[in-house]
Copies of this chain bind each other. A is one copy, B any other.
Amino acid sequence: MIHRLARIIPSAGFEGHSGGLRVGIGDDAAILRPNTGSEMAISCDSCLEGVHFHAKLQPPESVGYKSLARATSDLAAMGAIPSHFLLTLALPPEKTGIWLDRFAKGMARAARRFHMNLIGGDISRATRVLVSVTVLGKVTPGKAVLRSGARPGDLVYVSGPLGRAQLGLEIVLRGLSGSASLRHLVQQHFYPEIRLRLGNWLASHRIASAMMDLSDGLSMDLPRLCNASGVGARIFEAKIPRIVIPRQLHMPKLDPLGLALHGGEDYELLFTIPPSEVRRLSRAPGAASLKMVGEITRTREILLLGSDGSAAKLPSLGWDHFRGVK
């Protein structure tokens, strides 16, 4: 089965030529030659049926694509360039045929897009699909951008509109993903864009003081960045880039600001820069969609400033596995 996957997903075996790989898929472990000119970034992430996705609502191609994209977004958040990955997969026997092939095709699409090779893995049986991906990448020594570098006075940016993935999920949950006029809105939920070029640019130009990717929603993730940096933040409600909700979806629970603050899985980058770097930032890849949403404060709290001048603590209502509610 590993061999079937390796035929579909870009992979490298013995003496593969790519990125210093000496032994790839098929042995007890993969062997990588060290690259003296760079540091290695490594992260892992999982995608579980019934937790991260509903098998009946999500095409297998999307499960494959998104499992790799989610994990690789963590490399983008360090400023690293992805190179290799390992796949741990467990699935029920009835999904080892067509489902697995479609899963592999989706993962292959992500691997080609991110220029990554599968170098190892593990497959076992389970009652539900479980995917865990470990990703490897390289970053120029000393240039990885951590969560902990934000300083009072730094400006807080996001790399694009927030709430898109959550809106996609809501469309899927309402059974409307087949609607021609809504289908494109499901893309960011099924096949998330991740910000590899931007992340690497911000790191290699030493512009970002702190960075992470937005996986659980701004209201969950901004406090994490602030905690790591020992700071707080002031966010301007009016500046948060949000999405337009199509008329046919208007429902009380779906407001653009709520989606932007608390919606998960956008995989946009959240980063801070010193004010002196604003000019250089305008040359970043995709600079037009970068939005300044607030500033870092010495006071360790997260405030949301309303357009009317009001200030309120931002409640963390994003995705928390062990609260289990949005």
Contact = CB atoms under 8 A, between A and B. Distances in A.
A27 B78 contact: yes
B321 A48 contact: no
A43 interface: yes
Contact of A77 (B28, B39, B136, B322): B28
A213 interface: yes
B46 A124 contact: yes
Contact of A43 (B1, B86, B96, B212): B86
B28 A125 contact: no
A35 interface: yes
Contacts of A32: 39-40, 42
> Which of A27, A90, A147 has the most B CB atoms < 10 Å from its CB?
A27
Interface in A1-44: 1, 14, 22-23, 26-36, 38-44
Contacts of A148: 14, 27
Given A121-B44, A124-B46, A127-B50, A34 B31 contact: no
Contact of A31 (B23, B50, B139): B139
A30 B34 contact: no
Interface string A75-88: 10110100000111
A141 interface: yes
Contacts of A132: 44, 46, 88, 122, 130, 132
Given A34-B40, A38-B34, A136-B42, A228 B146 contact: no
Interface string A116-128: 0001111111110
Contacts of A93: 322, 324
A321 B39 contact: no
B88 A141 contact: no
Nearest to A34: B34
A181 B218 CA distance: 57
A141 to B, nearest CB: 7
Contacts of A36: 34, 36
A23 to B, nearest CB: 6
A154 interface: no
Contacts of A139: 31
A45 interface: yes
A112 B211 CA distance: 32
Interface in A110-157: 119-127, 130, 132, 134-137, 139, 141, 144, 146-148
Interface of A: 1, 14, 22-23, 26-36, 38-46, 48, 50-52, 74-75, 77-78, 80, 86-88, 90, 93, 96, 119-127, 130, 132, 134-137, 139, 141, 144, 146-148, 211-213, 228, 321-322, 324
Given A27-B212, A43-B86, 10 more contacts: A14-B146, A28-B75, A28-B147, A29-B135, A31-B139, A34-B35, A34-B38, A44-B132, A46-B132, A50-B127
